[in-house]
Structure formats: structure tokens, C-alpha cells
Structure 1
Amino acid sequence: MKKLQAPKFLYGLFVIAIILLMIPKFSYNDPDTFWHIELGQYMIDHGQILHHAIHTFYGDELPYVPHEFGFQLLVAPLYAAFGWPGVYILTAVCLFFLVLGLLRLGKVSRKELGLQQDHVLMLPFVLLITCWIYYNYFKGRPQMISSFMIVWFFVYLREYQMVAHKKYAAAMVALSIAIANFHAGVWLVIAVFTGMALLESLINKTLNWRKITVFVLVWLAGLLNPGGATSLLFILTVTKKNFNLLINEWQPIQFNSLENLPILLLLLFFACTLPFALQRKPFRFFLMLGILYLGVSNFKQNLFMWLFIPYFAAVFFDAIPYFRKPGVLVRQSTLRLWLTIGLLLNIAYIFTVPPVIDAKNYPVDEMNYIMQHTPEGTRPKVLARYGSSGYVMFRGGDILCDGRQDPFVTKDSLGVLGWTAFERSMYGFSEYLPEIVEYDHPDYVITGNGVSHKLFNEWAQKFGQPVYSGTYGSVFSLLKATE
């Protein structure tokens, strides 16, 4: 029997250990996850793709762009079958393909420049990047799926530019369709990458009718989604009147903040790699400009810099003297085995110790009280903050506004103070709350802790004392006032 080589054995343990450090319980607790599950289950139960908002104060009147319906139809049955561990199963699959995609991205970068594709630092670097992506972006949202799809689309695009195989072209078209149906809001990145490749081919005088046909098919394939062009241009909806800037992850990055130190270090490292990575290649220059723009825009779009740093860093590794020679390299099949072992151990852990929703961040106790005092089959109208409304809907309440945002920034939702439903949800828990309550007529109002005594007392004078106080906050009942 052949002896196991110690370096590769230790390398395998290292890979598994890093995967185990991506602790499963931190992957699910995001406000959007709750309404994604609810929308997916509604579509399954009713056999339809949603084009209108559900479970709101407006009934089914507000239009909704189904730009993430594919993710919702995937996550809902997993949750129904296994609970929160089911959501992690999807997370684990996405992590598996993301790690392999980031590694392949680095290899493609080196291949383009005629270098040996493997490098000893590549996999550790990719795992480090994946850890950051996991803890900051893998929260039971569509970007889990779109992240690895975008990376693999880019890989096939670069392979196609080197060798125009039909299999690469087919993969690009298929991924364009998939991204447009799972997370259409980021599909424009695919369109831009494709445009860069077309321009690159034009500059290099390699553009022909076959390439033009493939690139056009990639663009047209994105239209094959229920929302059509509206889904692909979803960014224009959420940025209207700068509504998106009211949400933290859309706001400009504060690079001088200590909590954003990893983002600052990434930006500086990105700058260090450019002299080695650009190599006077037009496409690399175009990509650098695009990634730099996205990387400094806001936290939400900063994800793209993390996804594409392996493409630039792959060449930079050769500048480190000690690691210029080939190091410990492993077969792809071996790496897939190690990743599978680590992720299966995480899955076993999450099924053994299922996560519990944080009652400090979400109105768990408060909704328990409300639903206990609500007749079965009835959905109470509950006014809650923007960040907790998705959970309220998930638990059985009708809400003013949730993370879908697009139905709630339209003129159809305009109300008191001239605010849209989104604005009332964001600004409402202030001195304006009584006016909003009088206009929207909720059955209950859930307020979070941390409110000033003065403001809380003003609310109590208008609504009466809270009928319940829990870990998250207080519940005011408006039912007595309307009886």
C-alpha cells in the first residue's frame, strides 16, 4: 500500500480546517432570508411567479419585479423540509462551487500570460478570501448563488477568448440565463464583462462573426426571465431618488473606520497587484477600472473586488522570492474531496445544533405574543421597522414594507407626509409615528429597544401602554382603539 505523502495530507487537513472555521450558524441570520422563504413558499403553494407584493397593508395591489424568484423557489422547499439546516445545505453547495471557481479564476489569469497555472499560494489565498465572503455576504440571500455563477461565467469567458470552444460559449449563455433568473440585479455585470471581451477582440483583431454571435446570445439570453428587461435594469428602480442610500450596505464605505480595515487592506493589496497583473493587456485594464469602481462604491458592490482579487493576485504571487518555484500541488479531484469532507462536517454540525433566531435582533417574542392573540387563519397588520418586517411577514403578519423595496418606492405607495411606504418604514419610528399609524391603521406596532424615554412616552400617550415587552422591544395594540 502506497504511503500517504505528509505534505499533501497536511495540506488536506488545512483545507478542511479552514472550511470548518466557516461556522454554519453565522450563515442564515439575515433580514432578507425570511421574506425570500415566504415568497418562495407562496409561489409554490399558488403555482405562480409573483408580479405583485404579498402580505402587505396594500393587499396584492403593489407591483413587484420577480428579479430573484429562482433563489426563492430553491430556498423555500429546503427550509420547509429541513428548517434552517436546509438553508445551510444551499450555502454549502454555493461555497463548494465558489472555492473551485475562485481557484480556477487564478489559474486562468496565469494561463493567459503563459505561466504555470498552479501556484502553492493560490489555494490558501482563495480560502482566505472565501472566509471573508462567507461571513459578510453568505447570509441566505441570492448573492450566494450569483457569486459563484459570476465567477464561473468569467472563467468561461476568458477560456473562450483563448480557445473558442463551443462548450465555453454554451456555458456562458446558460449562466447568463441562470443569473438573470436567480439574481437579475447583478446581471449587468455579465453584460459589461461581455462588452469588455468584444472590445478586447476588436483591439486584438480577433473579432469574427462567431464571436459576435456568441456575445449577442449572452446578452439576449438575459431577457429569458419573468421580469424581462425590467429585472435586468432593477438597479435603476432601487436607486431612484437615492432610496437605496437609506440602507446601510448601499452607503459609501468609510475607509477610515476600523471595522472596514479588511476592506481598506484589500484595496491596498489590489493596488499592489496591478503592476504585475495588467501586463499591458487591454482587457485587464478594462477589468481593473470596473472592479476598482465597484470595490470602492459601497459595501454591497465591494463583493466584486473580493471575487476578482484572485485574478489579479495570481500573477503577483510570483513576485515573492521564496514561492517562485512550484510548491505543493493537488489534483482537482483531491481538492473536491477535501472541500466535500469539510462541508459535510459543517452540515452534520448544523443538523445536530440547529441555529436559533436571535431574539435581540428580531421580534421573536413579540410575534409569539401577537400570533397567540390572533385568530387562526388571520394575518394581523403589524407595523415594524424595515429591518425586522421581513421576519414579521415570515411569522404570519402583514407589513407596511420589507426588503423587496421596489414595490414600496412607487407612487402607488405614497401616503401621509408625502412619503412612500419605504420612507414611512425607515423614518416612521420617530415623532411621526402617530401620524403614520393613523394613516396606515395597523393592528399592532412593534418598537425596538433603545428608544428615548421622551419618545416612548409620547407613543404611550397616543397608543396606550404596551401590551407586551420582550427581548427585542415593545408591542402596542391598536385593536382596542378601533373597537
Structure 2
Amino acid sequence: MKIINRISAFAALKNFIEDYKEYIFNLFFFGCLFIAFIYGISFNVMNDGFWHIKVGEYIVKNKTIPYHDVFSWYGMSKNLEWTSHEWLFGILAYLVYSIKGFISAAIFMGIINVLIVFSLYKLLRIRSKNRWIALICMSSYIVMFGSETSLAYRPIIVSMLLIIVTCILLEKNKYIAALLVVILGINFHGGVYPIYIIIFAYYTLFKNYKYFIAALLGILVNPYIYGIYLYTIRSMNEMDLQKRYINEWRVTQLYDLKVSLTIIIFIVFVYIFGRVKLKDILFSGSFIILAISSVRQIPFLPILALPLVCPYIERALNEFIRSYVFKNKFVRYTRLKIKIFRGNLVKYVIIIGLELVFIIPSVMYSYDFFKDGMKIFSVNDSDCPVHAVEYINRHPEIKSSHLLSHYNDSQYLIFRGIPTFVDSRADLFLPSFNKDTNAFYDFMHTCIDLNNPQDLINKYDIKYILIGKSYSFYNMIKSYENLSVVYEDPDYCIFKVNYYIGNIY
């Protein structure tokens, strides 16, 4: 009797899916677009976005692209060379922000994220020729940025869209249009040019190599010409130092990123059961390696690695179902009695189940977003030195001095028009970019490794120190005799350096 009831339940499920699969698909698809918009407008990471806005403001107002530092008092005093390879995003970021501040920035993020999701679906649909597979792979992008990493007001948001569009155009053999997108993309975010090269290599290297050469030359169409190539080469020279101090460049801790780990495991599953071509294994594997090498590269898993293997997913599922599911005794018995497993029922059940696993947390996130009053990004007093910056702007003797601030606060200071010492444009302050400086290491050695700050104060003639009370560096210096407090609030403190002491105890 129980077996008959189970068979009836499976039959009912089969009939329901067959009758309503169009509605089910549309519900999931448009639900994903809606959730993508919610994730976009509720973005909570600005960091470098602060100074990107100021870059755009500088370019628009001065009608010139900077080739030397314009934001750090130290960089300006040394006339440090600066490759502002994200200059076009800066203009876009500034123009968007100029409309309605962070409100317009949030709407922009929502729209861009919807375009990313829609374009990713189109790419996945073209390659897999199966809309359900395209849907589930597209959903992995959404849930990744909802549960493991956050969308940020940075050039990568535009790069993800343009990378996907480039792939779509190359899938349709529209090489010239793809080249134009690459040129646009390089000026939005020059640091990702190796990704465009890999994409063109995949689509053109052995059959239309002239377009691969054209892509290599197209990357030179930017204000810094071959400087974009040199930028990445120089970055690699100092990568060990940056990985030591900058979290997003550190090796990805996959055990903390379950969605990313699941994507990698699923791709390996496709490798095993899908009889994937060596070419697709090599190229998709290269993006897996990139994602593992640093947290910053994780987005390449859903937008590039998955699309590369998606043509093999249906084959892999069929092989898995044939080899493991249909060998189950209950399934074999059921197939003999009632043909409920004819067609794609098992695959539909697996895909819909995965989609529910992906989408339910996102639905809960959206619910909480509306329940909490649809809060969008705003500057938080505890995260940014809002009141301390207002104090500095009222005291020109501090603003025009050699001010030391923490690396994590530097973006906001630039945003508010205050010159910094070392900021998150780390390459500026490294000897691989500017031979006569090692300010990045000096700062990190003192403020992060907590070595004797007097060496830093003396070497760079520091006059004031702005530091958050949550930083270990604050606890280290707050009792030093040659520092006096000129400003203090619950979260931040400004010290004045009163006199020199050979050694501080």
C-alpha cells in the first residue's frame, strides 16, 4: 500500500511539473531578476567607491586624466606616477552619484546587477541550449553575492557585465563588436585585461587568430597605452606583499565560502560524468585556479567557469541518473510498474530542488530588506570618521599637514577632500611602481604589524594622526607622551605630534 501511495505521489508530481513547467520556470526566472535588483540596491560595500567618485569628479572638472597622484599629500609631494586604469568607471561613478547621492548609486547597482543576471542567463542558454540548466547556473551567481560576498560600488560590477557581453558576442561570431566591448571594458577596468585575453584565446586562437591579435592590440587603446600591460606585471612583482596585508588578495578560504565550493565541486562532477573536452577543462580550470588564488577572483566562477562547462551539464546529469539513480531498486521497480520516469522528471526534480535551495535564502533576504524599511547604503559613523573629517575640514592646519590615517579610512578621507598618506591605491606606494618609495610597507609595518611608530613619524614628518578606536594601533599609541588629543568622539581620535622623542616607551 505504501509503495502504491509513493507511485501515485510521483505520478502526481510528474503531471504537475509537465502541466505547469512554463509557470514554474517564469516564476523562478523573474524571481531571480527581482532578487538581483534587491541585492544591487541594498549593496553595503563602498570602500574604493569613495575615491572612484573623486577620480570622476577630478576628470570632469579638470577635463584631464591623471597620470600622477592627486589625492595623497605624500604622493603629490613626490610626484608619484599613477595609472588610473579605472578612469572611465570613475566618471560613471561620479555622474551617477551626482544625481541623488547614494540613492542613485543604489539604483544604478540594482540595474547593473539585473543586467548581469539577464546577460548571464543568455550566455548560459546559448551554450547549454537548455533554459533550466541556464536558470540554475544563473542562480548560483545570485546566491554567491547574497551569502558569501557583497556587491561593491567598484569597477568589477561593470566588468562582470562587459565580460559576459563579450562572450555572448563571440558565441555569435560578432568579433568586431566584441573587440569594441573589450576596448570599452579596458577603460572601465584596465586591471582585468588578462581575462579578456583568455576569453579571446578561447574563442579565436586556433580558428580566427587574427582577432586574438586584434584583442591584444585593442587593449592598448587607453590613455596609458602599454602602461596597462606594465601595470599588471608590476602588480605581480609585489603580490606577496599585498596578499600579506590586503584581505581581498589573500588565498580564498573555500571552507568558509560554501557556494563557491559547491560550484567547484559541481564543475568537477561535470568533468567526471560529462566527458568534457580538454580545451574546456583547461580554460574553466584556469578560472577555478584564479578564484582559489584570491578572494577578489571569486566572481569568475559563476560568470566564466560555469558557462564554459554548461554544455556538458545535461550529459553529466543523464550519465549520473543512468548509472546511479536508475539502479536504485525502488526506482527500477517503479519504472517497471508505471512509466513515471519517462522524459525529464528526475532532471526537473533535481534542478527545481537545487533552484529552491539557492533561491529560498535570497527570498528571505528580500523579505528582511523590505521588513527593515528598505535601507540603502549610508555612511556609518562607526565605520567612517564622519565627525572627525568635519573637524579636520574646519581646521586647515590639520588638513594641509602631514596627516596619518588608517588604510581602511583613507578612501573616505579622499571622498571628503582630505589628502591622505597611504591609501587603498596600494600600487602607488610600492617600489615596483615608483622606485623611490616604500611607503606602503612602512605604513603596514607600523600600523598593522605594530612596530615602533616613531620611525614612521620621523621618516615622513607626521604632524597629526587620525585613528579609529577599534584599531590595535590606537591602543598602542593612546598613552604616548609626545601625542596629545585634539579631537575625540566615541569612534575616532585625532592626535597631534607635539615633539620628537628618540625612542618611545
**TM-score of the two chains, using structure 2 as the length reference:** 0.76
Q: What pairs up with 1:33-432 in 2 under 5 angstroms? A: 33-58=49-74, 59=76, 61-110=79-128, 117-133=129-145, 136=149, 138-160=151-173, 168-199=174-205, 201=206, 207=207, 211-241=208-238, 242-245=240-243, 246-256=245-255, 259-277=256-274, 279-280=276-277, 282-311=278-307, 312-313=309-310, 315-317=312-314, 319=317, 324=344, 354-374=376-396, 379-410=400-431, 420-429=438-447, 430-432=450-452
Q: Structure 1 pair 453/101, CA: closer, same or farther in 2 (3 Å)?
A: closer
Q: Structure 1 pair 471/309, CA: closer, same or farther in 2 (3 Å)?
A: farther
Alpha-carbon distance, 1:130 to partner = 2.5
Q: Structure 1 pair 389/277, CA: closer, same or farther in 2 (3 Å)?
A: farther
Alpha-carbon distance, 1:388 to partner = 1.4
CA distance in 2, matches of 1:446, 1:349: 37
CA distance in 2, matches of 1:226, 1:278: 45
Q: Structure 1 pair 122/446, CA: closer, same or farther in 2 (3 Å)?
A: same
Alpha-carbon distance, 1:277 to partner = 4.8
CA distance in 1, matches of 2:26, 2:286: 39
Alpha-carbon distance, 1:361 to partner = 2.3
Q: Is the 8 A contact 1:295 1:302 kept in 2?
A: yes
Q: Structure 1 pair 324/219, CA: closer, same or farther in 2 (3 Å)?
A: farther
Q: Is the 8 A contact 2:83 2:224 kept in 1?
A: yes
* 2:459 counterpart (426, 434, 439): 439
Q: Is the 8 A contact 2:200 2:211 kept in 1?
A: no
The SS at the match of 2:126 is: helix
The SS at the match of 1:467 is: strand
The SS at the match of 1:129 is: helix
CA distance in 1, matches of 2:163, 2:210: 21
Q: Structure 1 pair 237/369, CA: closer, same or farther in 2 (3 Å)?
A: same
Query: What amino acid sits opposite 1:303 in the alignment?
Result: P
Q: For residues 129-188 of structure 1, give each alpha carbon's deviation from its aligned partner in whole angstroms, at most 9, with x where no partner exists.
A: 13423672520111101111112212222332xxxxxxx112211112012111111111
* 2:483 counterpart (463, 466, 477): 463
CA distance in 2, matches of 1:97, 1:25: 16
CA distance in 1, matches of 2:212, 2:432: 37
Query: What amino acid sits opposite 1:371 in the alignment?
Result: N
CA distance in 2, matches of 1:277, 1:294: 23
Partner of 2:31: 14
Q: Is the 8 A contact 1:57 1:440 kept in 2?
A: no
Q: Structure 1 pair 462/284, CA: closer, same or farther in 2 (3 Å)?
A: same
Q: For residues 214-270 of structure 1, give each alpha carbon's deviation from its aligned partner in whole angstroms, at most 9, with x where no partner exists.
A: 2222221111001112213422222223232121111112234xx333332222122
CA distance in 1, matches of 2:387, 2:274: 53
Query: What amino acid sits opposite 1:51 in the alignment?
Result: Y
Return 5+ residue gaps in structure 2 as ranges: 1-21, 322-340, 350-368, 501-505
Q: Structure 1 pair 131/233, CA: closer, same or farther in 2 (3 Å)?
A: farther
Partner of 2:329: none
Aligned Cα root-mean-square deviation (Å): 3.4
CA distance in 1, matches of 2:87, 2:386: 26
* 1:477 counterpart (480, 493, 496): 496
Partner of 1:344: none
Return 5+ residue gaps in structure 1 as ranges: 111-116, 161-167, 202-206, 329-346
Query: What amino acid sits opposite 2:211 in the alignment?
Result: V
Structure with greater contact order relative to length (CA < 8 Å, sep ≥ 6): 1
The SS at the match of 1:296 is: helix
Number of residues of Structure 1 aligned to a counterpart in Structure 2? 429
Comparing 99-108 with 67-76, greater Cα deviation is found at 99-108
The SS at the match of 1:140 is: coil
Q: Structure 1 pair 159/439, CA: closer, same or farther in 2 (3 Å)?
A: same
Q: Is the 8 A contact 1:185 1:231 kept in 2?
A: yes
The SS at the match of 1:26 is: coil
Q: Is the 8 A contact 1:176 1:190 kept in 2?
A: yes
Alpha-carbon distance, 1:32 to partner = 0.7
Query: What amino acid sits opposite 1:106 in the alignment?
Result: L
CA distance in 1, matches of 2:191, 2:153: 16
CA distance in 2, matches of 1:452, 1:440: 17
Alpha-carbon distance, 1:395 to partner = 1.3
Alpha-carbon distance, 1:481 to partner = 5.4
The SS at the match of 1:133 is: helix
Q: Structure 1 pair 348/63, CA: closer, same or farther in 2 (3 Å)?
A: farther
Q: Percent identity over the alignment?
A: 19
CA distance in 1, matches of 2:96, 2:211: 35
CA distance in 2, matches of 1:32, 1:230: 22
Partner of 1:337: none
Q: Is the 8 A contact 2:123 2:164 kept in 1?
A: yes
The SS at the match of 1:428 is: helix
CA distance in 2, matches of 1:359, 1:32: 17
Q: Is the 8 A contact 1:129 1:306 kept in 2?
A: yes
